[in-house]
Structure 1
Amino acid sequence: MTTRGAEVVVLGSANLDVVVRTPRHPRPGETVTGHDVARVPGGKGANQAVAAARAGAMVAFLGAVGDDDAGRLLRATLEDAGVDTTGLDVVDAPTGTAHITVDDVGENTIVVVAGANATVELDDHARGAIAAARCLLVQLELALPVVAAAVAHARRHDTLTVLTPAPAVSLPDDLLADVDVLVPNQHEASVLTGSDDPERAADELLGRGVRACVVTLGGDGALAARADARTRHPAPRVPVLDTTGAGDAFVGSLAVALVEGRSLGDAVDVATAAASLSVQRAGAIPSLPTRAQIDEVTG
């Protein structure tokens, strides 16, 4: 497979995740004792690329890593999942890192250091790959002007755009108007709109030009909203070990379902099932389910 033959193109971050497990999150100024520490491949872009590939799509990744052990691990991880890495550049900067604390009920906090991700640009190779793809996945762990240019380029070429607004920052209306499906969690939706009510937040985002908004609600599932419909999609009750990869499992599988021609509601049901599988396993990329596993729980 070449980048230009991909169904789903992911423009995003690739990080080494440094994951610490601890009974609870420390308060400001407090030190707590952790159980263990693990270093695993991650980054929202890389996670979503692997999630989409495991869900059955032909996927290409556009991003950057350093010439270091972490960068080589990330490239190998993507390639092992069947992701094309032709567009993964090696640059003169350290590979990005994410420092993650996971407590005993599976909730996490994350600090991201961009590193090589800050060097990613929308070059001719990336533009060609996006124009030829059926779907573009983007997040906000790259420079915002790069994300905005990629989404606008996808819009001009009728490539479906799916944006995860994480880390949450204020977004201009002209960027939102180029987004086909915006997938914030409840916190991100609140940052974007000032409303803690997911339905009101979704309504505001639709009013600002987004064509569809899917607000993920953790254990309560997701809210899918379009101008003509609002639907709730409950999540199955499952034991939760680690929520780190759940959002990326959701988005990657959502994109694949949409590319396959499913309705937004059906795609959200598939994505909710994938996320529920992810939270039962530790880590981000290690927790992402395969197509066979998703099909088994969705029938």
Structure 2
Amino acid sequence: MSQIPALTVAGAINIDLTAHTARAPGPGETVADGMLSRHPGGKGANQAIAAARLGAAVRLIGAVGDDDDGRAMTANLAAAGVDVGGVQVTDQPTGTALIVVDDTGENSIVVCPGANSRIDVERLRVDPHTAVLAQLEIPVDVVEAVVGATDGFVAVNASPASRMSPALIARGDLFIVNEHEFAALPELRDAPLTAVTRGARGAVLLRRGRTIAEASAVATSIVSTVGAGDAFAAALTIGLLQGDDVQVALQRACAVGAAAVADPRSQPALSRLADYAGSQ
């Protein structure tokens, strides 16, 4: 693998409480066949750990509570090789995501942000030359402060979909969305690079609205889609950072996403990025 620049991930750290059930309940309905699991999660933590497992040197900016969950999440990140020097401890409880996953692997999620909403901008310490991967599960002023503090490559996973400031749009080099988020964010039509994931139909990479690469999905057994988008985002960002051809970077990111959906955890076991097949 080529030399990978340092990557700073800014995003949420959560405990994932996941109910696996044959089908998700409808409005007003109770489904009684659930099996509960508890795992580390949060888009920031997921992407940081995925990037570290894929081979990057990663620092995470985020926040946890002064509680057992917060200490467990910080230890889990450190064990995966993530620099946790940027993880703040707040007076709010560690964030929690309530997730329902059905037999097809599809999921629905309610996030209770807790400490993620209390990141102190004044305490941020950002390498002025680091590459950044950020999401929108944390306050946008934190994202803007992080990306505004560096002259490096900036990737924004615009999830959950919400309006971004003109300053953030102007600063982003790469935006990563699914097709529903892309439809909700027309401002991305003219972005320098936008990756749009399409589930079983793979992904496309757009340069100012024009397709420059298209990759097929990798066939796999779907266990859970919860961590797939985060693994894809980490893989694509790393691939572009290390100078991979855009087609190779996109196809490898799809292969990493496929590995993630075959794993029940939000932070799946991953190999080095070079181990995943790309194509020219």
When normalised by structure 1's length, the TM-score is 0.87
Matches within 5 A, 1:254-265: 254-265=236-247
What is the deviation of 1:176? 1.0
Q: Which has the higher helix share?
A: 1
Q: Deviations over 1:3-28 (max 9, x none)?
A: xx970101111000000001111111
1:175 equivalenced with 2:171 (yes/no)? no
Structure 2: stretches of 5+ with no match in the other structure: none
What is the deviation of 1:101? 0.4
Structure 1: stretches of 5+ with no match in the other structure: 194-203
Match in the other structure for 1:108: 107
Match in the other structure for 2:188: 205
1:162 equivalenced with 2:155 (yes/no)? yes
The code of the aligned residue for 1:232 comes to E
Q: Deviations over 1:229-255 (max 9, x none)?
A: 432211112111110000000011112
User: What SS does structure 2 have at the residue aligned with 1:184?
Assistant: strand
Match in the other structure for 2:184: 191
2:5–2:241: 8 Å Cα contact kept in structure 1? no
Q: Deviations over 1:67-123 (max 9, x none)?
A: 111111111111111001111111111000111100000000011011000111334
When normalised by structure 2's length, the TM-score is 0.92
The code of the aligned residue for 1:45 comes to G
Match in the other structure for 1:132: 129
Q: What is the rounded CA distance, in whole Å, between the counterparts of 2:11 and 2:225 in structure 1?
A: 20
The code of the aligned residue for 1:244 comes to V
Match in the other structure for 1:196: none
User: What SS does structure 1 have at the residue aligned with 2:71?
Assistant: helix
Match in the other structure for 1:219: 200
What is the deviation of 1:34? 3.3
Q: Deviations over 1:264-286 (max 9, x none)?
A: 3221111111001110110201x
Match in the other structure for 2:32: 33
1:6–1:59: 8 Å Cα contact kept in structure 2? no
Q: What is the rounded CA distance, in whole Å, between the counterparts of 1:256 and 1:280 in structure 2?
A: 21
1:233 equivalenced with 2:194 (yes/no)? no
What is the deviation of 1:288? 4.2
Match in the other structure for 2:119: 120
Match in the other structure for 1:289: 270
What is the deviation of 1:192? 1.2
User: What SS does structure 2 have at the residue aligned with 1:244?
Assistant: coil
TM-aligned CA distance change 1:242 to 1:249, over 3 Å: same
Q: What is the rounded CA distance, in whole Å, between the counterparts of 1:296 and 1:217 in structure 2?
A: 19
2:155–2:174: 8 Å Cα contact kept in structure 1? yes
1:50–1:288: 8 Å Cα contact kept in structure 2? no
What is the deviation of 1:126? 2.4
Structure 1 runs (4+) greater than 4 angstroms displaced:
296-299
Among 141, 144, 169, the residue aligned to 1:145? 141
2:206–2:212: 8 Å Cα contact kept in structure 1? yes
What is the aligned residue count? 275
The code of the aligned residue for 1:267 comes to A
User: What SS does structure 1 have at the residue aligned with 2:121?
Assistant: coil
1:65–1:96: 8 Å Cα contact kept in structure 2? yes
TM-aligned CA distance change 1:102 to 1:229, over 3 Å: closer
1:14–1:45: 8 Å Cα contact kept in structure 2? yes
Percent sequence identity over matched residues?
39
1:206–1:212: 8 Å Cα contact kept in structure 2? no
Kindly report the root-mean-square deviation, in angstroms, between the aligned alpha carbons of the 2 structures: 1.9
